Structure 1
Amino acid sequence: MTEPRGQGPNQEEAPTIQAAQPEQPAQAAASAALELRAAKLTDVGLARPHNEDYVDFSIPSDPRQLAQKGSIFLVADGMGGHQAGEVASKGAVEATMAHYLADTTHDVGTSLVRAFRAANQQLYTQAEGDPSKGGMGTTLVTAVILGRKVYVANVGDSRAYLINRQGITQITEDHSWVEEQVRAGLLNEEQARRHPQRNLVTRALGSKPAVEVDLFEGEIIAGDTILLCSDGLTGRVADQEIATIVQEAQPPEAARRLVALANERGGNDNITVLIINAEEATPTVRAPIPAAGKAPVGRRSRLVPLVAVLGGLLLLGAVAVAILATSGILPLPFLQAGTATPSATMTLAPTLGPATSTVEATLVVAPTGVATPTATLVPTGTAGVVGTDTVVVSPTVSPDALPGSVTLVTPTAEISLTGVVTFAWVYGPGPLPAGYAFQLVIGQGEPTDPNAHTVGSPTRDTQRSVDLGHELDEPGDYFWTVLIIEAGLGGSEVSRAMERVFVYEPPATPGPAAAPTTEGG
Structure 2
Amino acid sequence: MPLVFRYAARSDVGLVRQGNEDSGFASDNLLIVADGMGGHVAGEMASATVTAILAGLPIAESEDVLTQLADAVDEAQLEMRHIIAEQPDFQGMGTTVTVVCWQGDRASLAHVGDSRAYMLRDGELLRLTKDHTYVQTLVDAGQITEEEAATHRRRNLLIRAIDGVNTVEPDLSIREVHAGDRIMLCTDGLSGVLRDEEILQLLSRSDPPGAVTALVEAAIERGAPDNVTCVVADVAQVDDPPVGNRPVVVGAAAEPRTRSQLPGVDFPQDSQPVDTPE
Report percent identity of matched pairs. 36
What pairs with 1:486-497 in structure 2 (closer than 5 Å)?
none
Q: Does 1:80 align with 2:10?
A: no
Q: Does 1:221 align with 2:178?
A: yes
Q: Distance in 1 between matches of 2:13 and 2:193?
A: 14
Which residue number corresponds to residue 214 of structure 2? 257
Choose which of 136, 152, 168 in structure 2 pairs with 1:195: 152
Flag the 1:149–1:58 CA change in 2: closer, same or farther, 3 A: same
Flag the 1:338–1:252 CA change in 2: closer, same or farther, 3 A: closer
Which AA in structure 2 matches 1:52?
E
Could you give the per-residue CA deviations for residues 371-427 of structure 1, whole angstroms, max 9, x where no partner exists?
xxxxx97xxxxxxxxxx7143011xxxxxxxxxxxxxxxxxxxxxxxxxxxxxxxxx
Q: Distance in 2 between matches of 1:179 and 1:134?
A: 26
Extract unaligned runs of 5+ from structure 1. Answer: 1-31, 60-70, 285-332, 346-375, 378-387, 395-521
Q: Distance in 2 between matches of 1:93 and 1:125?
A: 17
More helix by share: 2
The CA deviation at 1:96 is 2.3
Choose which of 35, 48, 52 in structure 1 pairs with 2:17: 48
Contact 1:74 1:143 in 2 (8 A): yes
Choose which of 218, 236, 254 in structure 2 pairs with 1:279: 236
Which residue number corresponds to residue 180 of structure 1? 137
Flag the 1:247–1:102 CA change in 2: closer, same or farther, 3 A: closer
Could you give the per-residue CA deviations for residues 435-489 of structure 1, whole angstroms, max 9, x where no partner exists?
xxxxxxxxxxxxxxxxxxxxxxxxxxxxxxxxxxxxxxxxxxxxxxxxxxxxxxx
- Normalising by structure 1, we get a TM-score of 0.47
Aligned length: 259
Q: Does 1:235 align with 2:204?
A: no
Q: Distance in 2 between matches of 1:83 and 1:111?
A: 28
Flag the 1:73–1:196 CA change in 2: closer, same or farther, 3 A: same
Aligned CA-pair RMSD: 2.4
Which residue number corresponds to residue 36 of structure 1? 5
What SS does the corresponding residue of 1:248 show, helix, strand or coil? coil
Q: Distance in 1 between matches of 2:250 and 2:23?
A: 14
The CA deviation at 1:209 is 4.5
Could you give the per-residue CA deviations for residues 145-204 of structure 1, whole angstroms, max 9, x where no partner exists?
112110011000011111111511111111011111111122222221122222111111
- Normalising by structure 2, we get a TM-score of 0.85
The CA deviation at 1:279 is 2.6
**Which of the two has higher C-alpha Rg?**
1
Which residue number corresponds to residue 158 of structure 1? 115
Which AA in structure 2 matches 1:155?
V
Q: Distance in 2 between matches of 1:128 and 1:135?
A: 12
Flag the 1:106–1:278 CA change in 2: closer, same or farther, 3 A: closer
Q: Distance in 2 between matches of 1:202 and 1:156?
A: 8
Contact 1:103 1:111 in 2 (8 A): no
What SS does the corresponding residue of 1:392 show, helix, strand or coil? coil
Contact 2:59 2:65 in 1 (8 A): no
The CA deviation at 1:90 is 0.4
Which residue number corresponds to residue 97 of structure 1? 55
Contact 1:83 1:132 in 2 (8 A): no
Q: Distance in 1 between matches of 2:218 and 2:249?
A: 28
Q: Distance in 1 between matches of 2:150 and 2:75?
A: 32
